[in-house]
Amino acid sequence: MRPSRREFVKWVTASGIALSLSRLEAAEEPGFWARQTLPGRQGWNPAATGVGRIDGVAKVTGAKLYASDYRAADLPGWPAKTAHAILVRAPDATHVYTGMDLARLTGALKPTVVVTAADLVRAGTRVPEFYAGDLFCPVGRTPIYLGQPVALLLFEEFDAYDQARLKIRDGGFVRFAEETGAVVMPDFGAFRFTRVAGPTPEAPDVYSPVLAGWVSPGKFQNAERPIWTPLAIETGAAYAKAATYGGQIRTELAADNPNLLMLDREFETQSVDPMFLEPETGLAWFDSRREVLELVLGSQSPYEAAEALAYMLGQARSPFKPAAIKNLFAYMGGGFGGRDHTPFPLYVALAGIFLPGRPVRLAQDRYQQFQGGIKRHAFKMRTRIGVDRTTGKISGFAADHVLDGGGLANFSSSVATVAAVAAIGIYDIPKVDVTTVALHSRGVTAGSMRCYGTLQTITALETIIDEAAAALRLDPIEFRRRNALKTGGKTMTGNTYLDSVRTPEILDKLERHPIWQQRAVHKARGQQGGIAVGTGLACTNKNYGTGADCSLGRVEIDPQGRIAIHGDHTDMGNGIGTALANRVAAHLGGVADAVTVHDIESYAPLALVTSGNPYTMNQATQDAAGKNPRWVPEISSATAASNGAHVGTHAAAEAARVIFRFGLWPAALDLWGIAPTHPTARQWEAARWQDGQLVMPGLAPLPLSRIAAKVYARNGVTGAMAHAFSRWGWSRATFPVGGQTNAGQSWTADIDALAVRKGGGKYARIDRSNVKFPPTDNNRIGTVYSAMCATLMRVEIVRASGALRIAKAYSVLECGKALVPDIVLGQAQGGFAMGVGYTLLEHLPPYEGGPGNGEWNLGRYVVARGSDLPLHDLEIEILPPVRPDEPPKGIAEVVVKPVVPALLNAIFDATGRRFQSLPVTQDMLKGALA
């Protein structure tokens, strides 16, 4: 879709910098957004007939799509030549940094500009709170983590940059002096989650986080670690109460009770890298004449990146402060959480600001990506579980989690809480006490990575569950069945799930599967020969949604019935564009052929405003703010927490419903000759689309193109844009869509902002007449949305070498309505591979031996290849939705979770050894079988 004129869409941030987007460039050169709007009206749309993705053709033809594809010459209006930047990082965090050996870079190799901490002070930049910590380590300080940036080197010529990077990478370029040891910093967050159920399932809880609020322990003076015991002086009464109940739970677990099986196990997991194939890359051009900074970036959190950039430069001194920042967000070569809230965009912007007038490219190579990219947290966990020997029911659970958050805080605090709340998985346990703390260390920064801490805790859980079942001589599936949380049951935080809980079906599927049925036969086969055979399973769930999820969507239909969609969620491979097209097609009868994702700016008519923090604000504040019809708790959020299907497509779907109800439907009635007062006129929900035609019982089917022409002819609604917000439940508002001519016509839906366009006109905002935001108390909830996935597998391990082969595997999952079933299937297959790599292959040592030293690449870091996987022996089953209109659930993360413990449980079955740490390498397996 090519807009016909320049549209400058501006909003002004608190720092006074206008964030805007120019969406049309010169006609000859396809502009950025034209390239990113797919499939585009010129070519084949595979999604139209369900035979491919909207980005399918672009990706098989090598089209320019990713941030790393763009050079200045590809962007209309930019100077043609690209300069290049190197972000220099410290490979040491225990000595004082004294500077760089710039003498290596002389003559043609000399950088045009060197940007250091001193330059940032001079420029007056600020560090956004989320990224607190020096953007560059100043000379004379010890870096706070391995890989902390120390400088940017900017080169006007590619050849100079290319030769310089070879000169500086072989060690010794970044210089250090006296040893100080690591910088000690406070922990990133500590929490305790305690629940004591009432005497019956229906009775209210005695104590829970939902009832009492979330609590954190205090500290003693300046000690590094929190104090978990309830010392009233340091910790406060609220924490003391939780800790007292928690202490009782632990006492009961430790008691000498012959009727209680108590297992006390430790489990340790390793740091791993998301290893998305496209290293982080960006392009920046500071046009100092217009005072506009333009950037090309790839980010899962575009709105957050835009805000962080505006904040960083918001009080900069002239000539370092732009009047406006234009962000162009591109398709990403993988994400997995590693492109969500990363500091990389800040450095891209700095490169541009310090070489004004010249477009600059900052591209990490893979060594640098390993050195500076966000990692998965390494966890140390201690888990205690108590099971009643008579009933086989879990009576108590206590766990202590310690996370290595690395150098910057990033999401560590949040990961700790989500992981803790997920620690009891699918089970209903009446007494639970979990402590968690995320520590700072000098290691590489850990943050969001697929599963967000819950992969670690589910691994500890599903292996201890397996051990408990074995100790009680209970069938592992029966044990899980007995303890599974039922629909309506309370979670660890004390709330129920709002969506379907399908544990019984999933467990039945596992039980009936041939891999499970034949396990004894195969195990016996293994006992005679040179291979050991074992079968294992795990059953898991994962929340989707973050508790403050936003969705922005804009949908338009043209006179020929062609559909365009804009959405603020992002594509890192998850196929959000195709999901958007399919979900909108259900309402509008046609698959969009112009889908623009990562678009945070095309919604200006909504004129949204926001304030405060949706996670922490109180009800009174929210009520007062919500009186402004343009206020929403948050404007746009990251594509994370498996929220693409449920959240990312929501606003566009709602916009499509408005177009149908107020545009297509009245036009269809007109074509059918049905008066607006006729009873049929109110039955718009009974209409169905079939093969591009609108079908109503007893009426002639109408093709979409005919209806669209009619909408334009009668100046009906042809476009809508909406905003939605979910805090474990959608905001809901009423909009007087009919306006004055149709006074009775109002529209109530799960959105909180709406603008519509009639015919070929402009968008006009419709202020909501009332709104109900989800209560702020919902912030006490762990999650209300959960999807399940279970995995069953049989492994064969060669005794002599320890080489493991997955002979057969089966994963079964449920996702509500699958918007694009082939993509769900692909996610499950990819998640399986990631789980295998995490269990058997991937490992990053902490600290000096790890990637912070700048020496790690693939080869040393091993991810799963095709030959590591059961390519023809992995069966994935996706359960149909529980009812035809079940909304979509997010599954991108849950499909990884059961793979890890299933593999460990299968390894136990084959070897008799329960491993307590990851990865389990070939050598370890060989040792176990020796």
Partner 1 sequence: MKSETRFQLLVPAAALTLSLLAGYAASQPASNTLALPESFASVSDTGARSVAMFTELGKVLTHPRCVNCHPAGDSPRQGEVGHLHQPPVTRGVDGHGSVTMRCPICHQKANFEPGRVPGHPEWHLAPRSMAWEGKTLREICEQIKDPARNGNRKVEELIHHIGEDTLVGWAWAPGFGRQPAPGTQKIAGALVAAWVETGAACPAK
Partner 2 sequence: MTALTITINGRVVGPVDVRDELTMNDFLREHLGMTGTKFGCGAAQCLSCAIIVDNPDGTSHTSPTCVVSAVSFNGQKVRTVEGHAKNGELSALQKAFVDHFAFQCGYCTAGFLNEGQVLLERLAKTPVARTDLEKVVAEALDGHLCRCTGYIKYHEAVRDVILADAPRYLAKA
Among residue numbers 848 through 887, which ones bind partner 1 (CB under 8 A)? Answer: 855, 858-860, 862, 865, 867
> Would you count residue 858 as binding partner 2 (CB under 8 A)?
yes
Of residues 351 through 410, those in contact with partner 2 by CB under 8 A are: 363, 365-367
- By the 8 A CB rule, do 283 and 315 touch? no
388-396, 471-479, 533-541, 830-838 -> range binding partner 2 (CB under 8 A): 830-838
74 binds, among partner 1, partner 2, none (CB under 5 to 8 A by kind): partner 2
Q: Cβ closer to partner 2: 307 or 842?
A: 842
Q: How far is the CB of 166 from partner 1 (least distance, A)?
A: 6
Size of the site for partner 1 (CB under 8 A): 9
238-246, 454-462, 598-606, 817-825 -> range binding partner 2 (CB under 8 A): 817-825
Of residues 544 through 583, those in contact with partner 2 by CB under 8 A are: 571-575
Q: How far is the CB of 296 from partner 2 (least distance, A)?
A: 12
Burial of 681 from C-beta contacts in 10 A (0-12 / 13-18 / 19+): middle
In sequence order, what E strands does 777-919 have? 786-798, 804-814, 874-879
Name 151's bridge partners: 88, 116
Q: How far is the CB of 145 from partner 2 (least distance, A)?
A: 23
From CA 86, how far away is CA 604, in angstroms rounded?
36
Q: Using the rule CB under 8 A, which residue among 194, 827, 839, 853 binds partner 2?
A: 827
∠ CA(544), CA(550), CA(554), 5° rounding?
120
Q: How far is the CB of 367 from partner 1 (least distance, A)?
A: 10
Q: Cβ closer to partner 2: 4 or 61?
A: 61
Q: How far is the CB of 277 from partner 1 (least distance, A)?
A: 14
Backbone phi and psi for residue 810, each to the nearest 5 degrees, phi listed first: -145, 125
Q: Angle, to 10 degrees, between the axis of helix 476-483 and the axis of helix 454-471?
A: 110
From CA 253, how far away is CA 262, in angstroms rounded?
7
For 277, the token pair is 């194939």
From CA 833, how far away is CA 842, in angstroms rounded?
12
Residue type present at position 3? P
407 binds, among partner 1, partner 2, none (CB under 5 to 8 A by kind): none
Q: How far is the CB of 169 from partner 1 (least distance, A)?
A: 9
Of residues 66 through 95, those in contact with partner 2 by CB under 8 A are: 66, 68-71, 73-74
- Omega into 504 within 30° of 0, i.e. cis? no
Name 297's bridge partners: 329
- By the 8 A CB rule, do 2 and 24 touch? yes
Q: Using the rule CB under 8 A, which residue among 865, 880, 917, 927 binds partner 2?
A: 865
Shortest CA distance to 730 belongs to which of 762, 670, 696, 775?
A: 775
> Would you count residue 826 as binding partner 2 (CB under 8 A)?
yes
- By the 8 A CB rule, do 397 and 114 touch? no
Of residues 354 through 383, those in contact with partner 1 by CB under 8 A are: none
Q: How far is the CB of 276 from partner 2 (least distance, A)?
A: 6
60 binds, among partner 2, partner 1, none (CB under 5 to 8 A by kind): partner 2
What residues contact 465, with CB distance under 8 A and at least 6 apart? Answer: 385, 425, 427, 476, 479, 480
> Would you count residue 930 as binding partner 1 (CB under 8 A)?
no
Of residues 683 through 702, those in contact with partner 1 by CB under 8 A are: none
465-473, 715-723, 789-797, 854-862 -> range binding partner 2 (CB under 8 A): 854-862
For 742, the token pair is 């149709």
Q: Cβ closer to partner 1: 714 or 860?
A: 860
From CA 535, how far away is CA 518, in angstroms rounded?
9
Q: Cβ closer to partner 1: 366 or 382?
A: 366
Residue type present at position 589? G
Of residues 529 through 568, those in contact with partner 1 by CB under 8 A are: none
Q: Using the rule CB under 8 A, which residue among 103, 166, 233, 675 binds partner 1?
A: 166
Q: Cβ closer to partner 2: 169 or 772?
A: 169
170 binds, among partner 1, partner 2, none (CB under 5 to 8 A by kind): partner 1
874 binds, among partner 1, partner 2, none (CB under 5 to 8 A by kind): partner 2
582 binds, among partner 1, partner 2, none (CB under 5 to 8 A by kind): none
For 758, the token pair is 């009639």
Q: Cβ closer to partner 2: 166 or 620?
A: 166
Residue type present at position 502? R
Q: How far is the CB of 334 from partner 1 (least distance, A)?
A: 19
Q: How far is the CB of 40 from partner 2 (least distance, A)?
A: 13
Q: Using the rule CB under 8 A, which residue among 275, 403, 451, 477 binds partner 2?
A: 275
Q: Cβ closer to partner 1: 698 or 859?
A: 859
Burial of 639 from C-beta contacts in 10 A (0-12 / 13-18 / 19+): buried
Q: How far is the CB of 798 from partner 1 (least distance, A)?
A: 13
Q: Cβ closer to partner 2: 55 or 549?
A: 55
From CA 514, how far away is CA 505, in angstroms rounded?
16
Task: Tell me how far the alpha carbon of residue 544 is from its chain's centroid.
Answer: 9
Q: Cβ closer to partner 1: 700 or 858?
A: 858
In sequence order, what E strands does 32-122 have? 37-39, 83-89, 95-100, 113-116
Q: Using the rule CB under 8 A, which residue among 673, 679, 866, 884 binds partner 2?
A: 866
Size of the site for partner 2 (CB under 8 A): 72
Name 809's bridge partners: 793, 874
> Would you count residue 528 as binding partner 1 (CB under 8 A)?
no
Q: How far is the CB of 548 from partner 2 (least distance, A)?
A: 26
From CA 362, how far away is CA 475, in angstroms rounded?
55
832 binds, among partner 1, partner 2, none (CB under 5 to 8 A by kind): partner 2
Q: Using the rule CB under 8 A, which residue among 311, 832, 847, 915 binds partner 2?
A: 832
57 binds, among partner 2, partner 1, none (CB under 5 to 8 A by kind): partner 2
- By the 8 A CB rule, do 429 and 399 touch? no
| Residue 555 region by backbone torsions, left for phi larger than 0, else alpha for psi between -120 and 50, else beta | beta
Q: Angle, to 10 degrees, between the axis of helix 476-483 and the axis of helix 503-512?
A: 170
Q: How far is the CB of 585 from partner 2 (least distance, A)?
A: 17
∠ CA(619), CA(624), CA(628), 5° rounding?
130
Does an H or E element contain 235, and which?
Answer: helix 232-235
Shortest CA distance to 192 belongs to which of 423, 447, 369, 10?
A: 423
For 599, the token pair is 């678009």
Q: Using the rule CB under 8 A, which residue among 28, 170, 178, 691 binds partner 1?
A: 170
Residue 518: DSSP 8-state: T
For 286, the token pair is 């500071």
Q: Quickly count: other Cβ atoms within 10 Å of residue 256's Cβ.
A: 6
Backbone phi and psi for residue 57, each to the nearest 5 degrees, phi listed first: -65, -40
855 binds, among partner 1, partner 2, none (CB under 5 to 8 A by kind): partner 1
Does an H or E element contain 555, and which?
Answer: strand 549-557
Of residues 141 through 160, those in contact with partner 2 by CB under 8 A are: 158-159
Q: Using the rule CB under 8 A, which residue among 30, 31, 40, 52 binds partner 2?
A: 52
Q: How far is the CB of 859 from partner 1 (least distance, A)?
A: 4
Q: Cβ closer to partner 1: 405 or 854?
A: 854
Q: Quickly count: other Cβ atoms within 10 Å of residue 365's Cβ.
A: 13
Of residues 331 through 360, those in contact with partner 2 by CB under 8 A are: 331-336
827 binds, among partner 2, partner 1, none (CB under 5 to 8 A by kind): partner 2
Q: Which residues of this protein are in contact with partner 1, per CB under 8 A? A: 166, 170, 855, 858-860, 862, 865, 867
